[in-house]
Structure 1
């Protein structure tokens, strides 16, 4: 490549990185008014706990297995074409989801049938959304070649801010349409999700795609990957994250159920609690991004994976607060979710960036696909286990079945951290984090320095 061509490519890459933020921002609207409210929508349709578990995990499981097809498609089609077609079909699926609510209102569609249809339609939506992930990950690996922590933290922060705003607006829309009119509120939200996803798709058209050619020597199967998991660092990392997914999803699908059905919170209060998590995520993404670029993604993963062990356990006191001090319940849960958002921001950012650091460009699509598949199997197993605890009404002392699921989730997170976290090693040269350095830095830090860490 001559100098002029190199310069032009650099400009194209910088423009593509900005476009990536724009397309992600509109997808953030879809996330905020659409995907984040699919469980409340299912509850409004009358879905039971097992159906909620299936809705939370089965679409992801099917979608991630479908990514195996993406690896084949990438041999014949450009990554841009795969993403645009997949995301377009994903957008269209919001229309039949809207239709289910109107069928409930106008022809009294049975709850069980409506819930099953929702699981099927949402699975189709997620299949076409997640089928784009290997192509998108490979594409972004080509575009972001340095300081990935800072870039993805900044991109995620912008998207999370837009998602947060969308969640807030959506919550108050549903609160306005509460009661018998709630399906009209959901129809408005999902129509916005549909339009926003279409706009997101349109941005890919002008996004620069570096040349990519599939080479057969870089191909390896899921079975090959699993067979060698314990013998390599990346495999042990995937095993850790996958088992953590099992533990997390014993509780994760049922926080909304607990708030809306057991605590009987309004949509406004539900939204405030959910938003607390998103808000602290936004605040902490830049901090974790800079921290990971300096001290490594593994250090962030270790800190945050231990902290997220506490989250489901901190929900247990709600059983006392609802009886003794109900006015303190919502502020307490907002504080818990604020901590959750800060922890999950670091965990999610460091785990995805660890993949970018550990995997070569040629193997990125395969490794991200297998990472997602094994993680989604964890989601499915966890959510089914949680659903069975609720279905068979397993209680413990004064803990309801949902709180038993939260307790089990927390205990398993701790055990997995103890057994597996130290088996994973950092993959790049990073600065050693010393306690003495941290104390000295904090001692000499001015307020403006502290502010810059979160910028």
Structure 2
């Protein structure tokens, strides 16, 4: 591929951060609590909520088109511009129905979300190939750590502000207007993100002859480490995401959180995530992607159990979960992303790696969402009270997801990454670092209080 100059690479990395910020603003306002909230506003039931959550996973199979489309177009940039631009603009249809006060049927709403998801699945796969060639390998951990930190800050700030605005409008009977404003801004931010992508340089891809369809589907799975990672991801997303469609709905419906409180919950994870993006990025560069990924996926298993003990009056478990979102989900996501980039090192299979990753995780999450949605709907009247704590149908999903996450860990341990440090060594070094910083902080505090340390 054509090598870019150092100046071009630095320009591209800066543009990527700014572009990613606007993309995050789009995702925040056109997804998450606003997408789930609009679905509830339109009268969606538990199965339809699960289906809404599963749509991105359902259409992940379209990622396999990415490799063919790149070869047909001859470059990645124009393909990303068209698919991402169109995929984000589709939400204009939702804006128009809300603006003109048409009755938006939940079925049409799901179709619009589905069309957008198809285009964004292709855009995401091609963009991943593009950015993996743009970012120098030795800087990946730090770059994505800084980039994700900035994106987190922008996301939580707009979520908090929009959440406050939504609560204000909802309290005055203007909930529909709130969703209209949110999705209008989302479309505008998406357009800005697409325009910025036009300025981001692209290393010219090495376009090899189109491989056989069998090679696209199964070629990367012939590589032992990528195959092991794929098996882990397939089973983890099939079982560990059983509760994923219901977290936001449970907050809004059963725990009676306002949009502002949901935004604060997200903000806690986002703000803490800013610090830990940088921390885990440096840890990845020092110890490798595998140990950071294993450590954080182990801690992620704790999180669904916290939701079992939350009530409208006892919300501490939710706030603890928000903190862990910032600490361990940040490390798990960043570690997995870098581990994927490390293992996807065959240029001839570049798009195939990311397509398989998208399809496997997407299909697993889709099946999990359908199963969870069906079960949750079947036991929608489930209500159990133990020691003053109310348990609902969603709590069954939280319990199942937590158990499944721990059961999947041995599969992740089988993945090997060349040059990475052992997991135990990484945990020991990080523990020593944490203890050293705590001790240093204690000494500073004692000095500030005028107390002499006797140690």
TM-score in terms of structure 1 length: 0.88
Mapped partners of 1:47, 1:392: distance in 2: 15
Matched, 1:364 2:339: no
Matched, 1:378 2:374: no
Match of 2:305 in 1: 313
CA deviations 1:78-104 (Å, max 9, x no partner) are 10000111111022112112234456x
Matched, 1:201 2:194: yes
Mapped partners of 2:337, 2:426: distance in 1: 25
CA deviations 1:257-290 (Å, max 9, x no partner) are 1111122222222222222222222221111111
* Aligned-pair CA distance for 1:222: 5.1
Mapped partners of 1:273, 1:280: distance in 2: 11
* Aligned-pair CA distance for 1:349: 0.7
Match of 2:114 in 1: 123
Mapped partners of 1:188, 1:233: distance in 2: 46
CA contact (8 A) 2:156 2:263 kept: no
Match of 2:182 in 1: 189
After TM superposition, list the pairs within 5 Å mapping 1:39-188 onto structure 2: 39-62=36-59, 64-77=60-73, 78-102=75-99, 106-107=101-102, 109=103, 114-145=105-136, 146-178=138-170, 180-188=173-181
Structure 1 portions without partners, runs of 5+ = 451-455
CA contact (8 A) 1:389 1:402 kept: no
CA contact (8 A) 1:252 1:383 kept: yes
Mapped partners of 1:205, 1:437: distance in 2: 43
Change (3 A) 1:208 1:316: same
| Count of residue pairs brought into register by the alignment | 428
CA contact (8 A) 1:45 1:101 kept: no
1:347 to 321, 332, 352: 332
Match of 1:224 in 2: 218
CA contact (8 A) 1:308 1:344 kept: yes
CA contact (8 A) 2:68 2:210 kept: no
* Aligned-pair CA distance for 1:438: 4.6
**RMSD in angstroms over aligned alpha carbons?**
2.5
CA contact (8 A) 2:291 2:420 kept: no
Structure 2 portions without partners, runs of 5+ = 386-390, 445-455
CA contact (8 A) 2:216 2:349 kept: no
Mapped partners of 1:338, 1:436: distance in 2: 22
1:19 to 9, 15, 20: 15
Greater alpha carbon shift after TM alignment, 272-281 vs 197-206: 272-281
TM-score in terms of structure 2 length: 0.88
Matched, 1:212 2:205: yes
CA deviations 1:288-343 (Å, max 9, x no partner) are 1111111111111111111111111110011xx44xxx1x42x4412222112321
* Aligned-pair CA distance for 1:439: 5.2
1:336 to 305, 311, 321: 321
